[in-house]
Chains A and B, each alone.
Chain A
Amino acid sequence: MSQQNYKRVLIVDDDKVMRTMIGMILTSRGYIADQVNSVSEARNILSEERQSDYDCVITDYYMPGENGIELIKWIQDYQPTLSTILLTSTEETDVIKKTFRSGAVDCLPKPINQKVLFKSVTNAVEVTKQQREAQQTQKSLREIGKFQNYLLQSKPPNLPVEVFTCNFPQKEAGGDSLTIIPVNKDQVLVVVTDVSGHDLKAAFVSTFFQGLLRGMIQRKAPITEILRFFNNYLLNEWSKLHPENSEHDVVTSLAVCAIQMNLKTGNATVINSGFPSANYTDGEGYHERAVLENNCPLGWFESLESEHTLYPIPELSTFTLWTDGLEDLALALNVDRMALAYHLFHYKKMGNQPPCIKKSKDDILLVRVVIPSDNESPEYYPIISEMYSGNEFNEVDAFQSTWENSLKLVIEDLNQEHLIAFLLCAREILLNGLNHGCQGSEEKACHFQIAYNPVDEKLRLCVRDPGKGHRFDFKKQFENMQNELVDASTGLSIVYGLAEDLKIEDSGSCVKAIFSIKNE
């Protein structure tokens, strides 16, 4: 910045009388006014000086060689925060339009009116100040963002679990965070947060929480106590730092999901406060979503009820967590959240930016925690997992559309015939579950899952309903269909004819089918 009490202006005019007069006016008002007689000289002096030595440039339009607009355009490229004023004796509207298009703050007619000049320079100097402050804030945000990104990517050594992350921030810094704390050689704590807002305030709260978390965990504080402590802090201390908000306003909230894994006991506890439901996948790729009920982020209410769920963690079991930005993007793309998570991880592995991320309007942080296996990698990855109520059978076309988009997102070269055959079977199996297992009741729901095996190029469909099951011999029915013209074919018989394998488990309340999608 210029010397604290003096603002410095550069006057560019080939007319010595004019530039001397402007210099005298400005000097009399407390400015330091330097003078040059051409654009090239101005360019030299601005290139040599420190970027912030001048607070404003006043330039004449008509000068031998290059004109004032060319100088303004150069300044816009070289020092975009430096304000410029153009002086012109012309009344041509074209010049005035060009002046503003080139980025000038003002255009003053000659002869110069002292009051008008002073007002214009005062304004231009203020604009420069504001633009430099904004640039500085942006720079600080970028620095914080770099640090946050480093924290998201860095993992402590010798972790008993594998952790993968994908981060797609909307701004340089934000409130999404991941903290991995190895408690001992068998236990690890993974905490993912999402602070409301995408600004410095969100970044500060996020970083503060991470520091507090690490410190309190070292002091052996239980995670639930830490969450309660931070909830009180947000409500009773942080909110007081913002007197502009009313007593009942939520200033900042923090959604958090913590997974405490104990490999010795083979169990994990999921604790959730306002974060999107955690996604658990067992060692065989079957998915379960920890349903979120009556819990809310830290910073909303005095009483805090965090959700606790216990899961077994065999080898290759996985927890996938994402911030609500992923849920919004999945909705916008009409795809399943698991399919989008798979797609984002796949692109990250390939080192590419997924094209669909351009449609995202919120930060996305995606974290996958895998219990490693010495010699195996997962066979099936869940890509669709939804609960459908028994009375939703008329919505099957809409469901099918989401499945189709999800499959196309995950398997970009999926053959159309394989796709349609698979969708047909998915419909049949789901309708079977909704009609027979749920008996069309709104109170009952089917768990519908599709998993993908990228190595063997197979899709696995699994629909589990809450019914008692029923005996149905789809093989016999299939034979009957071939022998008689029966007009009561069942969906499962068609699936039997199209799938590579069809199994019925739990007395018929669980139907599983495998499909090969390998191109012949």
Chain B
Amino acid sequence: MKHQYDSENATLQLTAEGDVTSTNVDSMRYELEDIYEKTSTSHKKKWSLLILDLSKSQMVDSAGLNLIISIVKRNKASGAEIKIITSSPLVHRVLTFTRLSKEVNIVLNKK
């Protein structure tokens, strides 16, 4: 998972480089912990906006969905606004099965 921090706008962008499924969520979870820790220590100001970019993901399964929800819950708890970007109608559909669509801004950018 790639990440980018825009200190001027206090925005952390996380980009999944492919599908978010049972076979890679565990490694993504470790990567995320690392990203949170490094970003928090290197920047005094905590991000106020988290962008989760899933544009390169064609598939998000139940394990992936659970990871995304835990990301959302954790960041909402710390007061950040969350935006999820997807280019796949299927991923959009899976995300909107859940209450996520009421909690965060989900943007479908069809390619």
Given contacts A393-B22, A485-B69, whether A497 and B94 have CB atoms under 8 Å apart is yes
Given contacts A394-B23, A420-B90, A491-B61, whether A485 and B73 have CB atoms under 8 Å apart is yes
Whether A490 lies near B99 (C-beta < 8 A) is: no
Whether B22 lies near A490 (C-beta < 8 A) is: no
Q: Would you call the interface of chain B mostly helix, strand, loop, or mixed?
A: helix
With a cutoff of 8 Å between Cβ atoms, the chain B residues found around residue A168 in the complex are none
Given contacts A394-B23, A423-B59, A485-B98, whether A494 and B90 have CB atoms under 8 Å apart is no
Whether B61 lies near A494 (C-beta < 8 A) is: yes
Nearest CB of chain B from residue A183's CB, rounded to whole Å: 52
Whether A485 lies near B90 (C-beta < 8 A) is: no
B1-39 vs A: 1/0 string, CB under 8 Å? 000000000000000000001110000000000000000
Partner of B62, one of A397, A417, A421, A428: A428
Q: Verify if A95 is at the interface (C-beta below 8 Å from B).
A: no
Q: Verify if B43 is at the interface (C-beta below 8 Å from A).
A: no
Chain B: interface residue total (CB-CB under 8 A): 23
Whether A489 lies near B66 (C-beta < 8 A) is: yes
Nearest CB of chain B from residue A86's CB, rounded to whole Å: 64
Q: Verify if B65 is at the interface (C-beta below 8 Å from A).
A: yes
Q: Verify if A350 is at the interface (C-beta below 8 Å from B).
A: no
Nearest CB of chain A from residue B84's CB, rounded to whole Å: 13
Whether B62 lies near A494 (C-beta < 8 A) is: yes
Given contacts A424-B61, A431-B22, whether A482 and B93 have CB atoms under 8 Å apart is no
Q: Verify if A481 is at the interface (C-beta below 8 Å from B).
A: yes
With a cutoff of 8 Å between Cβ atoms, the chain A residues found around residue B66 in the complex are 487-489
Q: Verify if A385 is at the interface (C-beta below 8 Å from B).
A: no
B37-78 vs A: 1/0 string, CB under 8 Å? 000000000000000000000110110011001101100000
When chains A and B are docked, how far (Å) is the Cα of A424 from the Cα of B66? 15
A175-211 vs B: 1/0 string, CB under 8 Å? 0000000000000000000000000000000000000
Give the nearest-CB partner of A431 in chain B: B22
Q: Verify if A483 is at the interface (C-beta below 8 Å from B).
A: yes
Residue of B58, B62, B94 with most partner-chain A CB within 10 A: B62
Q: Verify if B100 is at the interface (C-beta below 8 Å from A).
A: yes
When chains A and B are docked, how far (Å) is the Cα of A489 from the Cα of B103? 16
Partner of A481, one of B70, B72, B93, B97: B97
Partner of B72, one of A417, A485, A497: A485
When chains A and B are docked, how far (Å) is the Cα of A485 from the Cα of B22? 19
Whether A485 lies near B99 (C-beta < 8 A) is: yes
With a cutoff of 8 Å between Cβ atoms, the chain A residues found around residue B65 in the complex are 489, 494
Given contacts A420-B59, A424-B61, whether A497 and B93 have CB atoms under 8 Å apart is yes
Q: Verify if B86 is at the interface (C-beta below 8 Å from A).
A: no
Q: Verify if B89 is at the interface (C-beta below 8 Å from A).
A: yes
When chains A and B are docked, how far (Å) is the Cα of A165 from the Cα of B22? 42
When chains A and B are docked, how far (Å) is the Cα of A388 from the Cα of B98? 30
Nearest CB of chain B from residue A120's CB, rounded to whole Å: 67
Nearest CB of chain B from residue A393's CB, rounded to whole Å: 7
Residues 464-520 of A at the B interface (beta carbon under 8 Å) = 478, 481-491, 493-494, 497-498
Whether A484 lies near B61 (C-beta < 8 A) is: no
With a cutoff of 8 Å between Cβ atoms, the chain A residues found around residue B94 in the complex are 424, 494, 497-498
Whether B97 lies near A493 (C-beta < 8 A) is: yes
Nearest CB of chain A from residue B66's CB, rounded to whole Å: 5
What 9 additional pairs, Cβ within 8 angstroms, besides A478-B97, A485-B72, A485-B99?
A396-B22, A424-B59, A424-B61, A428-B61, A482-B97, A483-B99, A487-B73, A489-B69, A493-B62
Query: What is B's interface to A at a CB cutoff of 8 Å?
Result: 21-23, 58-59, 61-62, 65-66, 69-70, 72-73, 88-90, 93-94, 97-100, 103
Q: What are 23 A-B pairs at a CB distance below 8 A?
A: A396-B23, A417-B88, A420-B59, A420-B88, A421-B90, A421-B93, A424-B90, A431-B22, A481-B98, A481-B99, A482-B98, A483-B99, A485-B98, A487-B70, A487-B73, A488-B66, A489-B65, A489-B66, A489-B97, A491-B62, A494-B61, A494-B62, A494-B97
